[in-house]
Amino acid sequence: MRNIFVQSEFAPLKRVVMAQSEFAFPATEDQTDDDFLTEETLALYEGANTLGKNFKEVFPERQQQWELERANLKKVLEKYGVEVQVPRLLTNYEKELGKEDGYSNFFVRDPFFTIGHFLIEGSLRFPHRRNEILPVRNILAQEANENQCFYVSIPKPDIGEGQDCEAGPFLEGGDVLVLDKTIFVGNSGLASNKNGVQWLRNLASNVDYIVVEVPLHPTILHLDCALSLVREGLMIVCEEALVNGIPEQLKDWDKIHVSLEDAARLATNGLPVNEHVYITDEEFKWIGDQLEQRGITVEYVNFNISRSFGGSFRCSTQPLLRTYR
């Protein structure tokens, strides 16, 4: 059985894992990783006693809104016949282990990713995210047991020089975009790094994939915060976020342009259901209007709370099956 396969970012989405909504703040201010968050979000956190606390405890109404956003996304996906799986919640033991650095179970795009028939566990840079794979691992194990696929994991990051050791390797799913046999991997210094890119290049070269490293602006967390492949020949892109410009393979594509400011608000982090349907936030109706002018049906979901954490629709999902077959 071949029920694990991702051909591209816009091949028809048939099976997907959608994120839970769990997050806790680190116990000390110097543990906080916030280089990519908006000023509005930082102001909200600064005005509250957040250290060492669960987001749900500090902001109960926002937690409810956050869970509703994810429920509304699930409804849209199921409307188009997409099978949705959800990771389990964190256990009390896992939360206790994550008290110092904080813990998260909120953006399933990054802990693992799918390329062709490969299920790949990533390696996350932020300490509070390094165990985020655990709530989804039972899904991956079951999928690997039931399907003809390769289930592999990048090595655990080196901490020989402390938690901030740059050796990694770091490789996060938000940086990985698939276009048939070409894999684009972002590198801003905030997430994936050169050692992670090289690890993937070594693996991919054995199955005729080409890996293209895409250097990013230092305030951009992941490649999918700067680039969205909507369908063959059409992209949403923040050129200012791409240090070396648009990759050669994509230069001739039709472009909907996004500013660096809008990229920081996750304007490019929509989700193609297929080549004809695209999900985005109502905040970006101006992008939706341009997509509709090009024959794309646009589904709008308010994702304001999710975006306040630095991720949106693509970050909240990881496909298991995207194929025309």
Taking 70 as the pLDDT cut, the residues of the chain under it are 1, 30-36, 38, 47
Q: What is the pLDDT of residue 55?
A: 95
Measured distance CA(186)–CA(217) in Å, rounded: 10
Q: What is the pLDDT of residue 161?
A: 81
Measured distance CA(198)–CA(213) in Å, rounded: 9
Q: What is the pLDDT of residue 30?
A: 60
Q: What is the pLDDT of residue 180?
A: 98
Which three-class secondary structure string do you get for 183-219?
EEEEECCCCCCHHHHHHHHHHHHHHCCEEEEEEECCC
Measured distance CA(275)–CA(286) in Å, rounded: 19
Q: Are 117 and 152 in contact (CB under 8 A)?
A: no
109: buried, middle or exposed (CB in 10 Å: 19+, 13-18, 0-12)? buried
Q: What is the pLDDT of residue 34?
A: 59
Q: What's the pTM value of the predicted model, to 2 decimals?
A: 0.94
* Domains of the chain, CATH where assigned: 5-322 (3.75.10.10)
Which three-class secondary structure string do you get for 217-261?
CCCCCCHHHCEEEEECCEEEECHHHECCCCCHHHCCCEEEECCHH
